[in-house]
A and B are shown apart, each in its own frame.
Chain A
């Protein structure tokens, strides 16, 4: 149960982090659109690179929490089988 509580806190923290990064990506997209309309094209490639980096960080965070979740669930499953 302690691991599950830790997992819950971990999930909350990672969710906040992912949501923050997504908001930054949204801002990057609007900035890129504004740059495209203003024809300041030199902004677009750095914005895309930054967005890719943020997506990779998000994917790594998701992979981490999913792996942690799988571990917690398998442990809980083993515990319930032992009770039987």
Chain B
């Protein structure tokens, strides 16, 4: 290799990109950056799938709801399930049927309430309404149903035995 060629090689180590190829290099770097972003998005989606597996719960405790048996038709009471961090609402419909849901609104987590005798559960924060029968949203901003608490009537009272989400 001649001295001139060696000199050009050294010069290229410091300035490796020709001016007319500058946009070419920038595009290559952008392609690499986008592919890195693609890997991150892929990982994030996988992490969500993994979180759903870890967060899924199958061992629900049976918790007795005090005073449930004495509830009058068209009224409600509050209880906690499956632990103290889970506010829930138990409703006795006009027909005498017991229904229980999470009290946390699926819109922005306000506490929902049951106006006596009505056929909807109301979220007072943004005027969201859910059907008492199945917890589905019927009006207002919520788009997801309230998680339903499964109930079981035993000889010594009414028990919450699980949640359907």
> Across the interface, do A38 and B144 meet the contact criterion of CB distance under 8 Å?
yes
Residues of A within 8 A of B41 (CB): 22, 25-26, 28-29, 51, 55
Partner among B5, B35, B45, B165 whose Cβ is within 8 Å of the Cβ of A51: B45
Residues of A within 8 A of B39 (CB): 55, 59
Cβ contacts A52-84/B at 8 Å (1 or 0 each): 101100110110011001000000100011001
> Across the interface, do A59 and B35 meet the contact criterion of CB distance under 8 Å?
yes
Instruction: Report if B127 contacts A (CB, 8 A).
Output: no
- Complexed CA–CA distance, A36 and B48 (Å): 7
Interface residues on B, range: 20 to 34
Residues of B within 8 A of A14 (CB): 31
B152 CB, nearest partner CB in chain A, Å: 22
> Across the interface, do A11 and B27 meet the contact criterion of CB distance under 8 Å?
yes
> Across the interface, do A8 and B32 meet the contact criterion of CB distance under 8 Å?
no
Instruction: Report if B51 contacts A (CB, 8 A).
Output: yes
> Across the interface, do B48 and A33 meet the contact criterion of CB distance under 8 Å?
yes
- Complexed CA–CA distance, A84 and B3 (Å): 11
Instruction: Report if B69 contacts A (CB, 8 A).
Output: no
A22 CB, nearest partner CB in chain B, Å: 5
Instruction: Report if B56 contacts A (CB, 8 A).
Output: yes
Interface residues of B (CB under 8 A from A): 2, 4-5, 8, 18, 21, 23-24, 27-28, 30-32, 34-35, 37-39, 41-42, 44-46, 48-49, 51-52, 56, 144, 147, 165
* 8 other A-B residue contacts (CB within 8 Å) besides A22-B38, A47-B45, A66-B32: A11-B31, A22-B41, A36-B48, A36-B52, A47-B48, A55-B42, A61-B35, A66-B31
> Can you name 19 A-B pairs with beta carbons within 8 Å?
A4-B24, A7-B24, A8-B24, A8-B27, A11-B27, A18-B35, A18-B38, A22-B37, A22-B41, A25-B41, A25-B42, A28-B45, A36-B51, A36-B52, A38-B144, A44-B52, A45-B49, A48-B46, A65-B28
